[in-house]
Amino acid sequence: MKDAPPITVIADETAYAEAVQLALDSSAAYYADGTSTLDDDSYDRLVRGIEAYERDHPEQVLPQSPTGKVAGGAVVGDVPHLTPMLSLDNVFGAEQLADWAASVERRIGRPVTAWAVEPKLDGLAISARYRRGRLVQLVTRGDGVAGEDVSHAIGTILGLPGRLTDPVTIELRGEVMMTTAQFEEACAKRQAHDGTTFANPRSAAAGSLRTRERPYVCEQTFFGYGALPYPDDTSELAAGLREWPHSEVMAWVAGQGVQTTAVTPVAGTVVATIAEAQVRVEQIAAARPDLEFGIDGIVVKCDLAADQAAAGFSSRAPRWAVAYKLPATEKITKLVGVEWNTGRTGVIAPRAVLEPVELDGSIVTYATLHNVADIGRRGLMLGDSVTVYKAGDVIPRVEAPVVHLRTGDERPIPIPEVCPSCGDAIDTSQERWRCVRGRGCRAIASISYAAGRDQLDIEGLADNRIKQMLDTGLIADFADLFYLTREQLLGLERMGAVSTDNLLAAFERAKAQPLSRVFCALGVRGTGRSMSRRIARHFGTMAAIRAADAAAIQEVEGIGPEKAPVVVAELAELAPLIDKLVAAGVNMTEPGVPEGGLAVAAAAGADVEAGELELPLAGMSVVVTGAMSGELEALSRNEMNELIERAGGKASSGVSAKTSLLVAGEKAGSKRAKAESLGVRIVSPEEFADLVRPVL
């Protein structure tokens, strides 16, 4: 079956009746205040299962079935719409989209010459009525025929002006939603008020839009997607809005001061063929993880008004538009446990154990919980139904409990009183709790990390050897490795002359590693391999890094106002270790960087972004995939990333609309396909070697 969507299998008539009732209850809650017993993906699967059962058993179809009805038959509100606010039919892949487009062209009897492609926003559909340019009424979609008056929300929605540029009488349609920042602010306000949080941005928007009496106001955002003249309006503008292509209507809407997706990275686009529409679909899907608002699909529609009129409508949806659904990035599942782990820097981090759930194409069993304070802010309890979010390469995270699904059997999450690794006390003075022993708690892990291939690359230093050195008191941290003598190593059990000389030679080679690798070996919280390279290139020397205050650290790309003070504090804590490294003769400069680092060079007048420092990849975001060949064959992925950043670029792990270049070796796979769909430049390893020749 082409692009077959997943469905809930319904076995018999009893199960069918139960499924219909569950869908009705869920839909009513969803459109009433944003709450539901089901997440969007589960609801869609349920309705598709109901549709499949009804096709096979037409004699059993219940009159209240949600199939074929706008909003699943949820009747909310009593304000009639000027024209129905319909739903959209769905497709689930390229073949289904092509088949749908062919059916549209058969229906209108001619090829469609212009397709509009735009994101399907995951919000609440509303109509905004303007009289002589002034906003006078807001109405929800309801059952498509009538909705609820929510005019009390006027003034709380960004992107929906109180007055239009022109004094026109018009109805605008669009989506009300919360951005990531607005959602976090809304959760903080609710937490302060009653100790709970919203389950997700959509439920937060729905609940906030409808609530009339709440002691706090939650800001929301509007994106317009259409404009309708009143049925009896015979003005020239009304005639134009009825006859203009959809793209021209949206340009007019934006000109009235109304926000549209034109201001976002996923702006609506008009293409000539459905194949080009598919490319744009893939581009929008690739940009999804980086958006500040939720989308659950892409809408493809006939752009020309004549084509729309010829295609017509079904009882619940226009035949000239369809929603290309994307895999769910948010699902509801159970929080069954919390694991507490001490990391190599001594930070104690909780990890959520979940009932397995399929999310964004993979099965998720664990998710991030951040820290104790975050658990408290979100009001999480064991046994809670929770929303879990994942998109692209992002690690799954628990968003919030679904409070209205609580049964009373939930219980508090046990919080550790001592370090789960060593049993020592916990420093709770900061949000991120830490063992009082710091890195000493996980000394083996800390030293092993520093000696790893992507840091100091000390070959032959296994964990059992590190433990031996710690147990005998030869070392306390990885800086002590550079002070070990031949006699001390020979004194260790099962340590012969050859092994000793090889290890000493590895220590000497490690001293010559670039600053970026030395800095990475320190394991500064909030940094990793890529960030260590950026810091090293920005400052050039360890002395400059240590002299930098939080404001100077924040100038490094990717370091914000919250992370910068942490880096400064970590460097102060690591001062004795760094001093020992300096005294041992470990390199503290970054090769190929001007004296003082790129920051000083830029301050002196060199245009780093424009490439005046002769860096071949200046300002470029580069992704490497597949097996390297030629001169690059022996390089590890981290060494490739080092090469990219040495050449002035930014190494990235995932292809997105922001990617400048993809280095594709053999078996490049899905990243190459995504780059092709986004129009990203693709080069072979050999071509890339020539490109970065000055720094190779």
Active site residues: 120
**For the packed helices 274-287 and 94-108, what is the interaxial angle rounded to 10 degrees?**
140
Indicate the residue type of 496: G
Listed in order, strand segments (DSSP E) in 511-611 are none
Residues 6+ apart with CB under 8 A from 534: 556, 557, 558, 645, 650
| Beta bridge partner(s), residue 316 | none
Two tokens, residue 340: 């507490």
Spatial contact of 419 and 349, defined as CB atoms under 8 Å apart: no
Spatial contact of 621 and 534, defined as CB atoms under 8 Å apart: no
Of 547, 531, 532, the C-alpha closest to 600 is 547
Two tokens, residue 554: 């924040």
Kind of pairing, strands 79-80 and 661-664?
unpaired
Q: How far apart are the first and last CA of the chain?
A: 50
d(CA 188, CA 581): 44
**Sign of the Cα pseudo-torsion (242, 231, 148, 142, in order):** negative
Residue 325: strand, helix, or coil? strand
Of 8, 16, 4, the C-alpha closest to 62 is 16
Please give the radius of gyration of the chain, using alpha carbons only, rounded to the nearest integer.
Answer: 30
d(CA 150, CA 128): 10
Of 19, 631, 79, 92, the C-alpha closest to 324 is 92
Of 399, 383, 392, 337, the C-alpha closest to 359 is 392
Two tokens, residue 115: 């397709």
Two tokens, residue 34: 């944003």
Spatial contact of 321 and 414, defined as CB atoms under 8 Å apart: no
Spatial contact of 85 and 76, defined as CB atoms under 8 Å apart: no
d(CA 524, CA 539): 16
d(CA 9, CA 635): 49
Cβ atoms within 10 A of the Cβ of 496, count? 11
Residues 6+ apart with CB under 8 A from 245: 114, 116, 270, 303, 304, 305
**Sign of the Cα pseudo-torsion (597, 603, 604, 610, in order):** positive
- What percent of the residues of the chain are helix, what percent strand, and what percent coil, each to the nearest 5? 40, 20, 40
| Beta bridge partner(s), residue 387 | 332, 400
| Beta bridge partner(s), residue 651 | 622
d(CA 468, CA 465): 5
Spatial contact of 646 and 674, defined as CB atoms under 8 Å apart: no
Two tokens, residue 186: 């809304």
d(CA 550, CA 566): 8
d(CA 158, CA 252): 18
Two tokens, residue 501: 């000389």
DSSP tag of 649:
-
